[in-house]
Structure 1
Amino acid sequence: MAIPIADIAWAREELARFLELTDLYRRPDPPGVAVITAQLSNRGAEKDILGSAQVVEQILDRVLPRWRTEVPDSRNRRVNRWCQHREAVQRADTVLERDAEVRARLGDDAPDLNAAVMHPWVWEGARPLWQSGHFREAVTAAGRKVNAETQNKLGRKDVSETRLFQQSFSQEHPKPGQPRLRLMEDDGSDTFRSVHRGASAFAEGFFAAIRNPNSHEDGLPELPEHEALE
């Protein structure tokens, strides 16, 4: 899939710096003292590593959204606390470097949906659950977020979901306490009527066919990731 990072060169530089800071080595023995230990230390200072990790984790969340669960952790922590990060960074750097080549060689260079470039209301609502693999709940959370932000935008808490969007995209003139959302100027055309009728129907379809069953039906199977993304 397309990599959701605008400046790949910058991202790779940040990943390389993290690898340098967390490189493991054995400290030299003090003069005249022989220390028998298998303990390894990071080359960088802890404060520098922590600062780099703050940026690197955000890059990893974009490139490998499930790195925290898919990259082994427990056995690596016995060696060094940053081992999981280092393996994830190495994987992410390979993706950043060779993604286009791999997709072209495998014969699947078609464009993909990318959740990270969706409207912030959608992705911000879905991201925490999405990254933990709870795709059905992530879709529901995105719907709740869009509903709440639309209520805020219109200053309305008296209606929600289907009724909110039906009234917001109504082609009637605004009324006291009932502002409208407009996708284009009202020029009296069939296009204006079609666009707003479609937006209202789209919202109704989402809440009726997706959001409501997800919220009220117990035992629904987890959505496949691609289906949830679509």
Structure 2
Amino acid sequence: MKNMDIPWAQAQLIQFLDLSELRPSTSTRSFRQGNVHPQEHIVASAYVVEQILERVLPRWRSEVPDRRNQSVNRWMQHREAAQRAMTALQRDAEIRERLGEVAPDLSAATMHPWVWEGARALWQSGHYREAVSAAARKVNAETQNKVGFRGVSETRLFQRVFSLEPAKPDMSRLRLMADDGGDTYRNVHRGAMAFAEGCYAGIRNPNSHEDGLPELPEHEALEQLAAFSVLARWVDSATVHQV
């Protein structure tokens, strides 16, 4: 929840809960409940609330029961998720302090956009291993876009873009700092090359090519996403050297 305007988020959740307030059914033949306010007002508020829920409760769609099949009310899942989010925003710091060591939070939503955009849909449905692979593909594609070349990918791509050799007509280079002739310049680019190779050989390839692997625990998948986020930030901030 770092960098979130919590009072604003709380106000949006309260507004949604007010707008989606349930009106008891007057029918003895149906358990369906309507809403006090017009649907168009609720829909507009729900759009904002869904963005808040994705930050506060990323797995709300799978963890909060969806009662639409019971024909109770269209907004029941949203309402319960909003109520949970209100509690989380109000008491998160207290809960973490009371239940154990207060440590820095690592949130997938605050990682580099390439990584989270690639992983989001699969992550929110609990497919963590596939989400990491999707993030890896996104970082690869954005790197190809940056250097303007799609002839190679993944490990070979990063070996070439971070190579210390001068740029060639068929391969641009990425530079993380100016060449001052010193060891730091060489070490930074060799390190980036080795790090990228480790990400794709050690994380992406096993996740994508080994059948029957059990699902990754969420915390392990989060660590793997963080590795690709580091690589994505290096690529995104690098200067392109072309012939």
Q: Same fold (TM over 0.5)?
A: yes
**CA positional deviation for 1:74:** 3.0
For 2:106 and 2:65, the matched residues in 1 are separated by 27
Corresponding residue of 2:55 = 62
Note the alpha carbon deviations across 1:120-150, whole angstroms, 9 max, x for none: 1111001110000000000000000000010
Corresponding residue of 2:186 = 193
Corresponding residue of 1:22 = 20
Gapped regions of structure 1 (runs ≥ 5): 28-34
What amino acid maps onto 2:218 in structure 1? Answer: E
For 2:47 and 2:60, the matched residues in 1 are separated by 15
Q: How does 1:41-52 map to 2 (within 5 A)?
A: 41-52=34-45
Are residues 1:81 and 2:74 paired?
Answer: yes
Number of residue pairs aligned between Structure 1 and Structure 2: 221
Corresponding residue of 1:12 = 10
Note the alpha carbon deviations across 1:16-42, whole angstroms, 9 max, x for none: 001001111348xxxxxxx66465431
For 2:149 and 2:5, the matched residues in 1 are separated by 39
Inter-CA distance 150–135: structure 2 relative to 1 (3 Å threshold): same
What amino acid maps onto 1:88 in structure 2? Answer: A
**CA positional deviation for 1:179:** 1.0
Greater radius of gyration (CA): 1
For 2:135 and 2:92, the matched residues in 1 are separated by 28
Are residues 1:153 and 2:146 paired?
Answer: yes
Corresponding residue of 1:142 = 135
Secondary structure, in 3 states, of the residue corresponding to 2:174? coil
Secondary structure, in 3 states, of the residue corresponding to 1:181? strand
Are residues 1:166 and 2:164 paired?
Answer: no
Q: Please report the RMSD computed on the Cα atoms of aligned residues, expressed in angstroms.
A: 1.7
For 2:87 and 2:70, the matched residues in 1 are separated by 23
- The one of 199, 213, 221 equivalent to 2:214 is 221
Q: 2:115 touches 2:135 (CA, 8 Å); kept in 1?
A: yes
Q: 1:22 touches 1:44 (CA, 8 Å); kept in 2?
A: yes
Normalization by structure 1: what TM-score? Answer: 0.91
For 2:220 and 2:103, the matched residues in 1 are separated by 17
Secondary structure, in 3 states, of the residue corresponding to 2:52? helix
For 2:136 and 2:24, the matched residues in 1 are separated by 52
For 1:16 and 1:76, the matched residues in 2 are separated by 25
Normalization by structure 2: what TM-score? Answer: 0.86
Corresponding residue of 1:100 = 93
For 2:157 and 2:27, the matched residues in 1 are separated by 70
What amino acid maps onto 1:220 in structure 2? Answer: L
Q: Kindly, what percent of the aligned residue pairs are identical? A: 68
What amino acid maps onto 2:23 in structure 1? Answer: Y
Gapped regions of structure 2 (runs ≥ 5): 224-243
For 1:176 and 1:57, the matched residues in 2 are separated by 46
Secondary structure, in 3 states, of the residue corresponding to 2:177? coil
For 2:180 and 2:43, the matched residues in 1 are separated by 56
Note the alpha carbon deviations across 1:170-219, whole angstroms, 9 max, x for none: 11111112111111111111111111101000111111111112221111
What amino acid maps onto 2:44 in structure 1? Answer: G
Corresponding residue of 1:30 = none
